[in-house]
Structure 1
């Protein structure tokens, strides 16, 4: 347990320690760690100094991690004992490494607990969260103080957040869902319970002991929670909301988990870039098998549905969702061309296609950028294709999504061989070396080069390949 007074004293000591290392407003400080209290101490110490926290994803490969560090050039990196070896193996160019534990505590003990001079301004960056990119390497999404405060306001307006609530931060803190929600709770005086990953026993213990605001449950994990709930008698102390990404969860599971936990299910559509908005305003009632997963708009945001020329489309016609509002991020770090394209016309283009109903709700159609969402993780096919096509024995390759009962969606690779001696095991090993585990294809299928459907410009038609899988499952 840590009181607010104790937490703030440690935050101030850390802020002074970072300032003593020469860090100034706008500098980046990275962290490579499992979920732990120091993650939040760094977020708030950085906030006071105007530093930007770079939340490194420990699930990435060495190649991907090194890219993230080179992209944002942190002057200091905090690392937990669990990941010291992984960081040491990288060619990262970090100036100072602070190991969480004895080194970290020694530095804090040498500093005063008084408040540092507050340097941050509303549009200063607060955190960089790394997102998968269409080029195959992660991008750094810069989220400002203004955006985080606006996200807190939406949580209060649309999701009944108040200071008597608790949040169990078990999803990795390098993800928006844990970091945003934890910052919101700590900003208004709520309670954050830090859990090191998907520890079902601890999560369910917290259901009995904490009056929770939002219990985040991801596709692919809900079935395990249901089994545990069936096996033990649990009396929830009170949960306002559960779940996420209802579209990727079997609908019968939604009905059962809401009944077992006596809490409605969040029918969400947001992103790292936009926060919980724009279309997360809906809830699925307790015990209901949903037949309608249309999305409802959040507060403090505007949206349009546009065609390829950025013209508004009429109701019933698919269009890309363009967004603006105070929760919006500030752009991708050091990516001016991507930002110019995605923020064109003063609206952030999300790359997701929707159809608007007459009542204003939206029905999801497809991802214009073809994003695969697997158990809460975002995967772009280009990430996997880049690795496959690097092997000289591969003539061509395409990765598509396949429905999966556990994870919602998984990637499947179709490969045309240049060398008939190439095996699926060869490509599995290639992906193992270059891709995080959740990004690796769950199936690799060999096809003839001429069998791959192509457009008039020679591009493989991904949706046609996906239909092959749909026909198998029909």
Structure 2
């Protein structure tokens, strides 16, 4: 294991940079892994439905057998403990089979983002040097040339034939994966690459087991709960939480993307643990529900324990509307690929509640600090970058020693997100540390301005970006979408609203209107791409205060 982690440029001394576990040991793991937990569910509930997808349904016995066949297929292809298998595919049952087969065999699954360009995909493959790439038929063309042809497989008839030749029995008792070190890699999930090419975040077995414990201990996941995996499985929010549900005896419904009618169908018929909804799609979900309620017989939601994500990025009225429509609490979440769901485990809004307070309660699996540029703790009430330690934290970026040395400095992982601590211990998200507007001698965090703008009754969403300024260096520029059905509002009215609630230096210098919330450019995770809006901000000086 040490050689593998050292080659990845992840840690010194064979341990992750955040040294959560004790010193290195050759003793086998003393707790069941994710593959063991799936096997336990299959033994306990063999006939219970595990997967429901476009390719058909599988019970736990059938899914477990296919996972065993897949693990043996990886071995037959020459992959050993620590080798990487890359996958380039839309959401499908085989994707989850590969993930659990990796857990059982000690192979590391690198989940490629099919939205990337050919050059970016080539970078991601070259970064982790997989021994094998498995693609779906849809993305077989994009996979061509990423590895030699003899190291590429495609889901379909030939793949199924090869799988059928493998035994459905577990790997042999003398297989190298038995007694796997919990610090061994399980998943490589790629970061969004907003400041450059994507980085590969290595998530260990230890981290994934801790994230499972967080899901069951603080996020409300109960035995037998359902989950709809519609978000791309190259994202943490989909692949990890689908695995957690399968480790607790629930059913995962595999959906190929944000099919709004299908998601509303399922919200009305399938009880769910967590219905993931992200900015950019929630308005369409609400509109679909409204339309169905107007039809004969109406529409009623099935029991859902919680909905949503990223409340900081949504207008409060929309949070209230979607949670009320689904009769489920809205989860005031905050997390990252690198840390799992941190620190917002305990904060939810009641169905129909319009949140006036987005403070987040830290979960119980982390230590955290708020630090300034000198890495010293900031004074109470000041904004600081959050630095964390805990068992859910990833092991580091693959083959990126400089980034790891920077981000894990002092033995804490520095997330790059700014928070303020309240006297009661809760945390207010301020903004990304790297996206700060430096106006004169003052630091301006865009989220502070956005929150004020969205308290105006006719504003549906607001996004603030920086624009170069000859006098001040940078100034804030606001892009505003009106609320649905709202009467027009002038820039002067919004300037006055900002001046009533913000220090003058924080007020936007320009306000530009967009036709609707759908006109904001967003990433695959629903986050507004401020860099693209910066380009628009340079195009016009209209509406300047």
**Offset, 1:370:** 2.4
Shift of 1:163: 1.5
Please say if 1:125 is aligned against 2:190: no
Question: Superposed, which structure 2 residues align to 1:106-125 within 5 Å?
Answer: 106-116=161-171, 117=175, 118-119=177-178, 120-125=180-185
1:349 Cα offset (Å)? 0.2
Post-superposition Cα deviations, 1:148-200, rounded to whole Å, max 9, x if no partner, equal 11111111111211122100000000000001100100111111100000011
The aligned residue for residue 146 of structure 1 is 206
Name the counterpart of 1:384. Answer: none
Contact 1:157 1:299 survives alignment (8 Å): no
Asked whether the 8 Å contact 1:278–1:323 carries over to 2, the reply is no
What root-mean-square deviation, in Å, do the aligned CA atoms of Structure 1 and Structure 2 show? 2.7
Counterparts of 2:141 and 2:479, CA distance in 1: 36
Aligned counterpart for 2:79 among listed residues 23, 48, 52: 23
Change (3 A) 1:302 1:472: farther
8 Å Cα contact 2:343-2:360 kept in structure 1: no
Q: Give the one of 100, 104, 112 matched to 2:159.
A: 104
2:216 maps to which residue?
156
* Equivalent of 1:247 in 293, 304, 312: 312
Cα separation, partners in 2 of 1:85 and 1:265, compared to 1, 3 Å: same
Question: Cα offset for 1:356?
Answer: 0.6
1:281: Cα distance to partner?
2.3
Q: Does 1:441 align with 2:519?
A: no
Cα pair distance change 1:244/1:401, threshold 3 Å: farther
Closer, same or farther: CA 21–473 of 1 in aligned 2, 3 Å: farther
Is 2:125–2:146's contact at 8 Å kept on the other side of the alignment?
no
User: Judging changes above 3 Å, is the alpha-carbon distance between structure 1 residues 69 and 15 closer, same or farther for their aligned structure 2 residues?
Assistant: same
The whole-number CA distance in structure 2 between the counterparts of 1:401 and 1:40 is: 43
* 8 A Cα contact 1:50 1:121, kept in partner: no
Q: Are residues 31 and 224 of structure 1, via their aligned partners in 2, closer, same or farther at CA, if it must alter by over 3 Å?
A: same
- Assess if the C-alpha contact under 8 Å between 1:242 and 1:264 holds in 2: yes
1:193-272 mapped onto 2 (5 Å cutoff): 193-232=253-292, 233-272=298-337
Q: Which consecutive unaligned segments of at least 5 residues does structure 2 have?
A: 1-56, 293-297, 437-445, 448-464, 466-473, 483-527
Alignment deviations for residues 260-314 of structure 1 (CA, whole Å, 9 cap, x no partner) = 1000101011100000122342111111111111111112111100111111112
2:398 is the alignment partner of 1:338: no
Written as runs of structure 1 = structure 2, the 5 A alignment for 1:2-81 is 2-81=58-137
Kept in 1: contact 2:477–2:537 (CA 8 A): no
Q: Relative to structure 2, which stretch is displaced further, 258-267 or 134-143?
A: 134-143
- Structure 1 unmatched ranges of 5 or more: 374-380, 382-397, 407-437, 449-467
Q: Is the 8 A contact 2:219 2:345 kept in 1?
A: no
Where 1:47 maps in the other structure, the secondary structure is helix
1:189 aligns with 2:280: no
- The 1:402–1:107 alpha-carbon spacing in structure 2 relative to 1, beyond 3 Å, is farther
- How big is the shift at 1:132? 2.6
**Matched residue count:** 401
- In 2, the alpha carbon distance for the partners of 1:24 and 1:267 equals 40
Q: Which moved further from structure 2: 325-334 or 277-286? A: 277-286
Give me the whole-angstrom Cα distance separating, in 2, the residues matched to 1:333 and 1:231.
47
**Rounded Cα–Cα distance in structure 2 between residues aligned with 1:207 and 1:295:** 26
Q: SS in structure 2 opposite 1:6?
A: helix
Aligned pair partner of 2:421 in 353, 356, 374: 356
* Distance change in 2, residues 1:337/1:260 (3 Å): same
Instruction: Summarize the Cα distance change of 1:6–1:324 in structure 2 as closer, same or farther, 3 Å threshold.
Output: same
Aligned partner of 1:415 in structure 2 is none
SS at match of 2:406: helix
Structure 2 CA distance for aligned equivalents of residues 17 and 112 of structure 1: 9
> Retained in 1: the 8 A contact 2:224–2:248?
no
What is the match of residue 38 of structure 2? none
After superposition, give the CA deviation of every residue in 1:358-395 in whole Å (9 maximum; x if it has no partner).
Answer: 0011112221122999xxxxxxx9xxxxxxxxxxxxxx
* 1:293 aligned to which of 348, 358, 375: 358
- Measure, in 1, the Cα distance between the counterparts of 2:537 and 2:425: 44
**Structure 1 pair 293–68 and aligned structure 2 pair: CA distance change class (3 A):** same
Structure 1 counterpart SS, 2:209: helix
Structure 2 counterpart SS, 1:188: coil
Contact (CA 8 Å) 2:122, 2:146: kept in 1 or not? yes
Alignment of 1:303-322 (within 5 A): 303-322=368-387
Q: Distance in 2 between matches of 1:69 and 1:402?
A: 38
